[in-house]
Chains A and B, each alone.
Chain A
Amino acid sequence: MEIETRLVIIKYLFVLMGVVLLIRLFYWQGLMASELSEQARAQHQSSNQILAPRGNILSQDNTWLAASQEAWLLFASKPELKEDTKTIAVKLAPLLGEEKERIQSLLDRPEAVWIPIKHKISTEIKKNIQAMEIAGIGFDKQEMRVYPEGSLSAQLLGFVGKDEEGNDKGYFGLEGQYDLPLSGKPGYLQREADARGAPIIFGDSKEISAVGGADLVTHVDKTIQLVVEQKLKQGLEKYGAISGSAVVIDPKTGGVMAIASFPSYDPFKYYDFTDELFKNPVISDTFEPGSVFKPIVMASGLDAGVINPETVCDICHGPYKVDKYFIETWDQKYYANSTMTDVILHSDNVGMTYVGNKLGAERLYDYLDKFGFGGLTGIDLQGEANPRLRKKGTWNVVDTATAAFGQGVAVTPIQMVKAIAIIANKGMNVEPRVVDKIKGLGWEQDLPQSQEKRVISETAANQVTKMMIQAVKNGEAKWAVPKGFNVAGKTGTAQIPLQGHYDAEKTNASFVGFAPPSDPKFVMFITLKEPKTSPWASETTAPLWFSIAKEMFPYLGIQPGD
């Protein structure tokens, strides 16, 4: 071949190579530019979300009522799966406690690439799955709410579900009320990294710190809570009641030491239960209190000075006519010339009508309002009901008479225990609170205590306390009182209102009391709905109250004679 021809060939070869190079350059720098930039950015910049754990709910001894724990989202990356979906499903099903058909149908979902299989699996299950080394199966870090005491205080705690966007959100109880402080705020870390993933010191970095949720330290005493729940459950079975509630508070601080209700639910598996169980009956159920209301009205009369403990009831010799109705006693026994102490001791409806008449409708309304009836107690739990009092100025003689012995008014258990706690607290206001303080990493904030406000005089409170001691010592429930102990208390058997009249058979039985009367350590209110073994509180809730109190006395250092 001649030299010219060779030169031409080489020339064209160079031109061709140049064109190929240009095309290649255009391909990489033009067409692939954005994709390559993205890959480079991914290699140089690592970014991670920093999880913010939800705060814990602690009892008064700083142990856990609700805690956050590490959990995992199990997922499948379909392009990386090497085994057939049926085999994978068979392997995973027993560990997840799921049906293999469900897992397989998830994995067989057409057009899906990244498939979440199960949320919030424990680290232990994760390790077991990892040990099987299934290609294409991975885990993303999540958080799980655990309740170490199981269903204990479920209605007090509430539960953590999801909001519309799939984020964790607290519902009901403390989880609902304190969702904001409990919820953490996730952070974000972005920085330049080298090929090994190590950060480049002088590179760009951006960090938004995660703020963990704050812990709630409650007044709840786990020992008392456990005793109350166990005994209440036994009580429900023993007396054949359809439901029951109990609440224990410290009358000096208003701190809620225990709240229990049955039937209840497991907050860990809240989705297996019906919505009605999520409400806390202690704050959301309303009922006619019956005779447990009498100490409140009596205290009002004593404070107003319209009666004193020795005042003689001059209408107590028989049924008393109010308008077209006759007020009768619960046992049809009448005690002429009863003193006010006798009226409480015998739970005398006619005697209470006498007190109501002395007070008058306006003044009775004002006292009930001061004791907190007709308004929210302000307890820091989600879902408190607010049964209204009949409007001031519209009470007729019948309303005044019946309200005096706890009929025709609706209250919640928390309102009832608050009102009795005021008597136990020597007439000073008490605001029930569940949370004592909120604390985070290196900080702590006490929550405000009850406002210093006098509701009734100390003398009136002491006088009605003495009456309640007599009611326990010599009343219908005296047989249930632990020997030697002083307790101020009152039974209440209330008929259940039913479309304008009262059910002839069914009752709500309640007992409220505090101990020791001289320096009360606790106030406890118990109510049972429709007990079957006996309609009377003296035979149901009173013995139940004392069986719980008996356990609490040594625990709280209360001795006979205190």
Chain B
Amino acid sequence: MLPLGLLFSLNVFLSIGSSSQGAQIIDVERKIKILEDENRQLTQTLVIKTSLTKVSERVEELNLVRPTQVVYLNKSDTFAKLP
């Protein structure tokens, strides 16, 4: 009778254990999904924000202008030369 009781208890214990582990897995998977979604959102924002076309349009909206003349300096000796 005792072994049967032990077996029954073990069975109940294992069932509860596996059930709670299953719930943990679901919880971890849910968290992974949330992180994946956040990651995807951030990537989507990056994709849009790094668009040069969009930046150029914004530059025009802000009335920023390109330099009309670039001044080139003669290549001179290096600064802070060693003695």
Which residues of A approach B to under 8 Å, CB–CB? 63-64, 67, 69-70, 146, 148-150, 152, 193-194, 196-202, 222-223, 226, 484, 553-554, 559-560
**Pair B40/A70 contact, Cβ less than 8 Å:** yes
Given A149-B53, A226-B52, answer yes or no on A198-B23 (Cβ-Cβ < 8 Å). yes
A431 and B39 alpha carbons, distance in the complex (Å): 38
* Contact code string B14-32 (vs A, CB < 8 Å = 1, else 0): 0000110111011000000
- B75 / chain A contacts, CB cutoff of 8 Å: 559
Cβ-based interface call for B63 (8 A): no
Minimum distance in angstroms from A485 CB to a CB of chain B = 10
Given A150-B53, A554-B70, answer yes or no on A64-B26 (Cβ-Cβ < 8 Å). no
**Pair B54/A148 contact, Cβ less than 8 Å:** yes
* Contact code string B42-73 (vs A, CB < 8 Å = 1, else 0): 01101110111110100000000000001010
**Pair A67/B52 contact, Cβ less than 8 Å:** no
**Pair A199/B25 contact, Cβ less than 8 Å:** yes
Number of B residues, CB within 8 Å of A? 22
**Pair A148/B47 contact, Cβ less than 8 Å:** yes
Nearest residue (CB) in A for B21 is: A201
Contact pick for B26, options A198, A202, A554, CB 8 Å: A198
Which residues of B approach A to under 8 Å, CB–CB? 18-19, 21-23, 25-26, 40, 43-44, 46-48, 50-54, 56, 70, 72, 75
**Pair B18/A201 contact, Cβ less than 8 Å:** yes
- A196 / chain B contacts, CB cutoff of 8 Å: 23
- A70 / chain B contacts, CB cutoff of 8 Å: 40, 44
A554 and B43 alpha carbons, distance in the complex (Å): 31
**Pair B72/A194 contact, Cβ less than 8 Å:** no
**Pair A148/B50 contact, Cβ less than 8 Å:** yes
Minimum distance in angstroms from A148 CB to a CB of chain B = 4
Minimum distance in angstroms from B10 CB to a CB of chain A = 14
Nearest residue (CB) in A for B73 is: A559
A194 and B16 alpha carbons, distance in the complex (Å): 12
Minimum distance in angstroms from A531 CB to a CB of chain B = 26
Q: Using a Cβ cutoff of 8 Å, how many contacts connect chains A and B?
A: 57
**Pair B18/A64 contact, Cβ less than 8 Å:** no
Minimum distance in angstroms from A153 CB to a CB of chain B = 10
- B52 / chain A contacts, CB cutoff of 8 Å: 149, 152, 222-223, 226
Minimum distance in angstroms from B23 CB to a CB of chain A = 5
Minimum distance in angstroms from B44 CB to a CB of chain A = 6
- A199 / chain B contacts, CB cutoff of 8 Å: 22, 25-26
Nearest residue (CB) in A for B17 is: A201
Assuming A197-B26, A201-B25, what are 18 further A-B pairs, CB within 8 angstroms? Answer: A64-B51, A67-B43, A67-B47, A70-B40, A146-B47, A148-B48, A148-B50, A148-B51, A148-B53, A148-B54, A152-B52, A152-B53, A194-B19, A198-B19, A198-B26, A201-B21, A559-B72, A560-B72
A149 and B46 alpha carbons, distance in the complex (Å): 13
A146 and B47 alpha carbons, distance in the complex (Å): 9
Most chain B beta-carbon neighbours within 10 Å: one of A149, A197, A554: A149
Contact pick for B56, options A63, A197, A226, A553, CB 8 Å: A226
- A559 / chain B contacts, CB cutoff of 8 Å: 72, 75
**Pair A201/B47 contact, Cβ less than 8 Å:** no
**Pair A226/B53 contact, Cβ less than 8 Å:** yes
Query: Closest 4 CB pairs between A and B?
Result: A198-B22, A148-B51, A201-B18, A63-B50
- B44 / chain A contacts, CB cutoff of 8 Å: 67, 69-70
- A200 / chain B contacts, CB cutoff of 8 Å: 18, 22
Minimum distance in angstroms from A284 CB to a CB of chain B = 25
Nearest residue (CB) in B for A225 is: B52
A69 and B42 alpha carbons, distance in the complex (Å): 11
Minimum distance in angstroms from A95 CB to a CB of chain B = 19
- A194 / chain B contacts, CB cutoff of 8 Å: 19, 22
**Pair A69/B47 contact, Cβ less than 8 Å:** yes
A560 and B23 alpha carbons, distance in the complex (Å): 69
Nearest residue (CB) in B for A67 is: B47
Nearest residue (CB) in B for A560 is: B72
Nearest residue (CB) in B for A152 is: B53
Selected A-B contacts with CB under 8 Å, 19 pairs:
A64-B50, A67-B43, A69-B40, A69-B44, A70-B44, A148-B50, A148-B51, A149-B52, A149-B53, A193-B22, A194-B19, A198-B19, A198-B22, A201-B18, A223-B52, A226-B52, A226-B53, A484-B72, A559-B75
- A67 / chain B contacts, CB cutoff of 8 Å: 43-44, 47
- B18 / chain A contacts, CB cutoff of 8 Å: 200-202
- B56 / chain A contacts, CB cutoff of 8 Å: 226
**Pair B70/A149 contact, Cβ less than 8 Å:** no
A196 and B25 alpha carbons, distance in the complex (Å): 13
A152 and B56 alpha carbons, distance in the complex (Å): 12
- A149 / chain B contacts, CB cutoff of 8 Å: 51-53
- B22 / chain A contacts, CB cutoff of 8 Å: 193-194, 198-201
A148 and B19 alpha carbons, distance in the complex (Å): 46
A226 and B66 alpha carbons, distance in the complex (Å): 14
Minimum distance in angstroms from A69 CB to a CB of chain B = 6
- A202 / chain B contacts, CB cutoff of 8 Å: 18
A244 and B29 alpha carbons, distance in the complex (Å): 53
Nearest residue (CB) in B for A223 is: B52
Nearest residue (CB) in B for A485 is: B72
Nearest residue (CB) in B for A550 is: B70
A549 and B71 alpha carbons, distance in the complex (Å): 16
A553 and B75 alpha carbons, distance in the complex (Å): 16
- B25 / chain A contacts, CB cutoff of 8 Å: 198-199, 201
